[in-house]
Structure 1
Amino acid sequence: MSTDTAERTRESRRSGMLIAAVRWMENLSETWYAYLLLTPIFIILGVVALYPLLRTFELSLYAVSTDLTSLNFVGLENYIELFTGGKDRYLPGSNTFLPTTLSMPAIVSSALAVTIVFAVVSVFFETLIGLGQALVLDQDFYGRRWIRAAIIIPWAVPVVIQGIIFYLMFNSNIGFATPPLADLGLLASTNTLNDPLSALFIILVADIWKTSAFMALLILAGLQSIDRSLYNVAKVAGASKWQQFKHITFPLILPTVAVAVLFRMVGAMKVYGIIDTVSSCAVLPSLSCMVVSTFNTRVGTSASIAFVTAAIIGIIVMIVIVWQGEDAI
């Protein structure tokens, strides 16, 4: 067989394999074809996300030796001690993982309680304020573009700069915002940033100020996807503004709101930077604060807290999926 003939034979085989592969893909159902296209993404997610999660769980099964030179396998002991208070001695200040009582001082000293309270309260108000901003920005008025740009500014501010701004605003010695709020009983009048309740209030205000714009932008995208002819029909039928919002606007933007709440809830569960820059993790703990503070000396404790945080986030994601169905994400 000549060289040219052999080359043509190899090319024919390669072409035949390619044609067979194309025909195989054409015969796939829409579901399996979608899975095929998503396969590279699944592989990337497995490497980037799943492996670190499994590695974190593996580290959580070990404890650092007393001389801090080696890791000893302890199984689920780190988790048991974490939920029974055995790990509280490794946390900064007088903080705990779970609240020891239902009193407010115990709640604001608990990393888990502070994280959940922060996530629920901040996301609730951010959603309300963001919805209000989105409804206003969805209207047609002069200067709308400039107002949209202005709303984004707080969201664009880096966390460190945001923390410095609120540190200066609420510092009991030089801050102008502390005296009037202290007169209302919302803040401690002295040593404000070292008071856990005051610090929690300030950090909530700081996060709501920054992230409401993020919620507004996401909800605004949902509003602008609504078919405007629906409102014309509603007006002809005599529906009021409230009835239009109740029966048209809110049901149609609810999936968008669910996604926005999901994104913000996941972000809020990982709060760290704003706490560390405005006050400190020793004054007001969070789960991420505890992960960072124990990482260098107690790797197993740090990994167990991180994995519990990831598990809580996973539960939140599943709740949203159950609430809105598979189309939620």
Structure 2
Amino acid sequence: MRSQTSMNTTGTIRQTIATVNNWIENRTESQFAYFMLFPVLLVFSVLALWPVLYTLETSLYADSFSQFRGEFIGLSNYTELVTGGRDSVLIRPFIDLGNPFQSILPVTLMFTAVTVVFATILGFVQALVLNGTYRGRSIVRVAVLLPWAVPIVVQGMIFYLLFIPAGAGTDLVNSLGLMGSQPLNESVTAFAIVSLADIWVSAPFIALIILAGLQGIDQNLYQVGKVAGASRWEQFRLITLPQVMPVLMIAMLLKSLMSMRVYGLIDATTNCSTVPSLTCGVVGTFNGSLYGTSAALAFITAILIGLVSVGYLIKYGNSSTGGI
């Protein structure tokens, strides 16, 4: 009896395996790829999607000092943020177009635009330097990549010490007439300093990504260009730039996401006072036990990041100039 039961079990297992194998063999490559990705997507849903949904749920409740959530108020947190009804509990107004450098959303968007553009340009130049062949290249690579390896708090403190009233950076820009004696206490100059710090820190990261693209270019293309009489600028414009564009777009996307959620650098440099950002608003309201407002700010940040990602995928996802 036991032998018969064992044989039946073995037969059932074999039949199940055969059925699964037949099902897999009848799938297309795309269907099989999604099938293999399903466990990863499931884990992602638990680890990433659930916190986002929980944040959305929390943002629909009023702030309460006696408990984690107050009464259900729907989208009131969002409407009051946009209309200025919550400005009194924020470190700075959420939207104030009359004073954009002291307004949370404009500062975040301007900071993202400025740092992405200039960090990409500087990173591209650094990648071209790192891709060259010359003596002392290893030393140059260490020097270029060093800022990226420094911890964020240390990076912020470096620029804080440079631009305090007695700092060397303050003396320099003051002698040139570019800034006052307390640049970190003024919104525009503090914004410029924090942007400069972020560009200095993130350019090596972009350089590494672009360097990978540069090293994947077929060198025969440059030989053909030389034979055709192309100048260095024409080789860069017609060969280097188109070939490296896919990784360049990815680098800009990643940098955009990093800039939108930057916090440590701003906090260490200005204590989020003169350069307010969305993440500064999230942390400030959370520390003040304003959990509904904090969740609304966090979800707005997630929406902006999602819009940038979706916009990239729509524009470059299936194009020849960029895509994952």
TM-score tier by shorter-chain length is over 0.9
Partner of 1:188: 180
2:266 aligned with 1:300: no
2:150 to 149, 157, 167: 157
Partner of 2:209: 218
- Cα distance in structure 2, aligned partners of 1:182 and 1:41: 54
- Cα distance in structure 1, aligned partners of 2:107 and 2:310: 22
Partner of 1:272: 263
Partner of 1:179: 171
The answer as to whether partners of 1:115 and 1:271 remain within 8 angstroms in 2 is no
- Cα distance in structure 2, aligned partners of 1:109 and 1:91: 11
Gaps of at least 5 residues in structure 2 are none
Partner of 1:252: 243
TM-score, structure 1 normalization: 0.93
Residue type at the aligned position of 2:168:
F
- Per-residue Cα deviation, 1:104-142 (whole angstroms, up to 9, x for no partner): xx1111011111111110111110010011112112212
| Alpha-carbon offset, residue 9 of structure 1 | 2.3
Change (3 A) 1:148 1:9: same
TM alignment of 1:106-117, pairs within 5 A: 106-117=99-110
TM alignment of 1:226-237, pairs within 5 A: 226-237=217-228
SS in 2 for 1:73: coil
Gaps of at least 5 residues in structure 1 are none
Residue type at the aligned position of 1:96:
P
Change (3 A) 1:66 1:135: closer
The answer as to whether partners of 1:166 and 1:278 remain within 8 angstroms in 2 is yes
SS in 1 for 2:71: strand
Residue type at the aligned position of 1:31:
S
- After superposition, the CA RMSD in angstroms is 1.5
| Alpha-carbon offset, residue 297 of structure 1 | 2.0
Of 293-302 and 210-219, deviating more is: 293-302
| Alpha-carbon offset, residue 36 of structure 1 | 0.3
Residue type at the aligned position of 1:305:
L
Change (3 A) 1:300 1:4: same
Partner of 2:61: 62
- Per-residue Cα deviation, 1:223-245 (whole angstroms, up to 9, x for no partner): 11111111111111221111111
Partner of 2:15: 16
SS in 2 for 1:74: coil
2:122 aligned with 1:133: no
The answer as to whether partners of 2:61 and 2:69 remain within 8 angstroms in 1 is no
In the alignment of these two chains, the number of paired residues is 320
2:231 aligned with 1:240: yes
Q: Which runs of 4+ in 1 moved over 3 A?
A: 65-70
| Alpha-carbon offset, residue 70 of structure 1 | 4.4
Partner of 2:44: 45
| Alpha-carbon offset, residue 69 of structure 1 | 6.5
- Per-residue Cα deviation, 1:225-283 (whole angstroms, up to 9, x for no partner): 11111111111122111111111111111110100000010000011111111111122
- Cα distance in structure 1, aligned partners of 2:183 and 2:51: 38
Partner of 1:83: 82
2:302 to 307, 310, 325: 310
| Alpha-carbon offset, residue 68 of structure 1 | 5.6
Residue type at the aligned position of 1:187:
M
| Alpha-carbon offset, residue 323 of structure 1 | 2.4
- Cα distance in structure 1, aligned partners of 2:195 and 2:275: 12
- Cα distance in structure 2, aligned partners of 1:67 and 1:310: 27
- Cα distance in structure 2, aligned partners of 1:65 and 1:167: 35
TM-score, structure 2 normalization: 0.95
The answer as to whether partners of 2:93 and 2:103 remain within 8 angstroms in 1 is yes
Partner of 1:120: 113
- Per-residue Cα deviation, 1:139-170 (whole angstroms, up to 9, x for no partner): 22122233223221100100111111111111
- Cα distance in structure 1, aligned partners of 2:189 and 2:265: 14
The answer as to whether partners of 1:166 and 1:202 remain within 8 angstroms in 2 is yes
- Cα distance in structure 1, aligned partners of 2:148 and 2:236: 27
2:201 aligned with 1:206: no
